[in-house]
Amino acid sequence: MNSRDRVLTTFAFEEPDRVPVWLGASPAFRKKAIQHLNLPDDESLSLWVGDDFRRVTTRYAGPQERSPYANLPPGVTFRSPFKILRHGYEGGQPISHPLEHATTADEINNYDWPDPEWVDVSHIRAEASAFHNRYAILGGEWSPFWHDAIDLMGMDTLMLCMYDSPAIVDALFERLLDYYAAVSQRIFDAAADVIDIFFIGNDFGSQTGPLLGEGLFRRFLIPHLKRLIDLGHDYRLKVLLHCCGGFAPLIPALIETGLDGLQALQPNCRGMEPAGLKAAFGSQLVLMGAINTQLLIDGTPQAAAAETRRVLEIMKPGSGYVACPSHDYVLGETPVENILALYETVREHGWYSR
């Protein structure tokens, strides 16, 4: 069974030969791991850990004054597609909220929104084709519309507007989704037949629970999530959502959208214990992650291996599980030895039959 077969069998809730694995990692971590293992290149690291996925991403090709990393003002480390300037580690935090004083939907609609044509998708097909039929290909635009809305309005203002000015919030999410849906549609028109999974990301949880209640979640966010999920399904792709935090009370609403899988599953957040998630949702959603990233940062290789084996014993039965750290982006400060211990443990203990 090759990697693609292993992943797609798991998404069908049938038992593959072993639990699939994925390594989502920052460039800083990948560089450190390549040096640690004395490997020649990035692909060699994916092969070493046995990564069953490959990911294809777009490139920016719009006006230089809107570039994510070029022509930035002093102190700015990133510019979002929506002109949000950010400062700090790994993308940082927004410096300002340009729509925080908007009082009408017209002000939202008249904002300087990006053009989906500024995103270059011309390379996607060739990059995905190089791995197609061997690995499960993750593609589509990340589409973090919830984060973008917070950056544009500020979280306090956004939350208050959900009660006081819902038309403003509706207009904001609609414009954000218009952009992201158009970009992903361009990707899929070019290469959907060599992509397997539409991978999107939005964080709806905090350490202690959801960032907003189920009522607000269903009213304002579910329709837009469903728009993305339906888009993926229209192209016969599975749809996988990355979501951090303790968002367990929101999972039933996500299942109703037709979502195929959830990634991250931070076990140190309220309600996200692996056994509870597996019992409640393991037959309805592919569960991906749950190996504590905080432990991987602060612990030892022995602790990482023990935690990986514990999670495998909970999540592996009945299929529907992909092993990876409980985040989409292993950070540079994570000890390489701990990550290697995770994947070595899956290689040893992740088999369904031999």
Q: Is residue 67 part of a domain?
A: no
pLDDT band at 92 (very low <50, low <70, confident <90, very high): confident
C-alpha span between 147 and 71 (Å, rounded): 23
Q: Is residue 20 part of a domain?
A: yes
Q: Which residue has the tokens 């959801």?
A: 210
Residue at 199: amino acid letter: F
Residue at 95: amino acid letter: I
pLDDT in tens, 184-230: 999 999 999 999 999 999 999 999 999 999 999 999 999 999 999 99
- Is the pLDDT at 250 greater than 90? The verdict is yes
Please give the residue range of the domain that contains residue 159: 3-62+118-349
* Mean pLDDT in residue range 131-157: 98
> Which helix (H) or strand (E) is 336 found in, with range?
helix 336-349
- Is the pLDDT at 98 greater than 70? The verdict is yes
Question: 69-83, 117-131, 138-152: lowest mean pLDDT where?
Answer: 69-83
Q: Is residue 84 part of a domain?
A: no
Torsion, Cα of 103, 107, 111, 117 (10° steps): 120
- Is the pLDDT at 313 greater than 90? The verdict is yes
* Mean pLDDT in residue range 41-52: 98
C-alpha span between 239 and 197 (Å, rounded): 6
- Is the pLDDT at 15 greater than 70? The verdict is yes
Q: Is residue 86 part of a domain?
A: no
Question: How many structural domains comprise the chain?
Answer: 1
- Is the pLDDT at 354 greater than 70? The verdict is no
C-alpha span between 125 and 45 (Å, rounded): 23
Q: Is residue 75 part of a domain?
A: no
> Which helix (H) or strand (E) is 34 found in, with range?
helix 27-37
Residue at 196: amino acid letter: D
Residue at 261: amino acid letter: G
| pLDDT score recorded for residue 80 | 95
Q: Is residue 167 part of a domain?
A: yes
Which CATH number does the domain housing residue 185 bear?
3.20.20.210
Let me know: does 264 contact 328? Beta carbons within 8 Å: yes
pLDDT band at 300 (very low <50, low <70, confident <90, very high): very high
Q: Is residue 87 part of a domain?
A: no
Q: Is residue 78 part of a domain?
A: no
| pLDDT score recorded for residue 3 | 98
